[in-house]
Amino acid sequence: MRKILLVFTVFAVSFFMYSSAEAIVHVEGRYWFTSLNSKVKATETSLIGTEIDLVDTLGMDKSKNFWEAKIDLNLLSHHLRYSYMPLSWSGQKTITQSVNFAGTTYTANARVDSKLDIIYQRVGYRYDIIDTLGNKLGIVLDVKILDIKTNLKTTGVDKPYSPGTLPIPTIGLGAQVGLPSLLSVGGEVTGIAYGNNQLIDWEVFVNFNPVPFTTISGGYRTFGLNVKDKDNKVDFSLAGPFLMVNVGF
């Protein structure tokens, strides 16, 4: 009888822990299948830049896949979050017309080797106004940090260019709706707009929870950055589906 009671007690405690307890730390990894659309214009001194399409003009890959890592510290309805994603493209193409970029002229019929590296980091806070039975609604405050470096190289010219590290504060919302069969659907959008400049990062997803504290997700995400400053311009868009695994401790 005591053995049966002990087994029952262990089972009950385990069930309570798995059903009611919440993980404090969540570690997330995702793989993003992206499509790039981007035009840039960089002016330096008195040489006005040419609008350059990164894919068509420079031959950078339109389709490329990237990983992202994220850690989320949960304190009841409060979440402290950090994510890190390295982005990188390269291209080689013989340009068909002269272009000016960051104070340097690249003549027609020159073979140009190009490279673009972006380190995208997010440091943020989320407060869930609603968090019950798998249903969530939260306010998100983020600082998105973009570290951008470019390089255009041809015979006799090796021109690195970097606008530096750009911290951009954003605000947004996140939501989730619980469904039967261990499923849920949700989304998150954060961004900022001022004048002709805007940044937006949004995603929608479907979650599956096969075991406690483990979530497997699939979704679609878009990141867009549009900046216009006199004779400088960035029109950058990255979009595509993603797969994600989230584990709690």
**CATH number of the domain where residue 88 is located:** 2.40.128.90
Q: How high is the pLDDT of residue 46?
A: 81
| Residue labelled with tokens 């350059």 | 52
Distance from chain centroid for Cα 187: 13
| Alpha carbon distance 227, 236 (integer Å) | 9
13's CB contacts (< 8 A; 6+ apart) are none
Residue 16 lies in a domain: no
Q: How high is the pLDDT of residue 137?
A: 98
Each residue's pLDDT, cut to its tens digit, for the chain (249 residues) gives: 444 434 333 333 343 343 345 789 999 999 999 999 999 999 987 899 999 999 999 999 999 999 999 999 999 899 999 999 999 999 999 999 999 999 999 999 999 999 999 999 999 999 999 999 889 999 999 999 999 999 999 998 988 989 889 999 999 999 999 999 999 999 999 999 998 899 999 999 999 999 999 999 999 999 999 999 888 999 999 999 999 999 999
| Alpha carbon distance 165, 149 (integer Å) | 9
Residue 172 lies in a domain: yes
Q: Are 30 and 68 in contact (CB under 8 A)?
A: yes
Domain extent, residue 156, equals 24-248
Residue 15 lies in a domain: no
Residue 7 lies in a domain: no
Q: How high is the pLDDT of residue 15?
A: 36
Residue 3 lies in a domain: no
214-229 and 52-53 as β-strands: parallel, antiparallel, unpaired? Answer: unpaired
- Tell me which residue of 82, 170, 172 sits closest to 127, measured CA to CA: 172
| Alpha carbon distance 23, 229 (integer Å) | 45
Q: How high is the pLDDT of residue 23?
A: 80
Cα separation values, 89 from 70, 113, 178, 245, Å: 22, 11, 38, 25
Its pTM stands at: 0.88
Please, which residues bridge with residue 106 across strands?
99
| Alpha carbon distance 17, 20 (integer Å) | 6
Distance from chain centroid for Cα 31: 10
Residue 8 lies in a domain: no
Supply angle C-alpha 92, 95, 100, rounded to 5. Answer: 105
What total number of domains does the chain contain?
1
Residue 56 lies in a domain: yes
Q: How high is the pLDDT of residue 220?
A: 98
Q: How high is the pLDDT of residue 229?
A: 86
- Tell me which residue of 176, 161, 75, 70 sits closest to 123, measured CA to CA: 70
Residue 100 lies in a domain: yes
Q: Are 233 and 39 in contact (CB under 8 A)?
A: yes
Secondary structure of residue 10 in the 3-state scheme: helix
Distance from chain centroid for Cα 137: 20
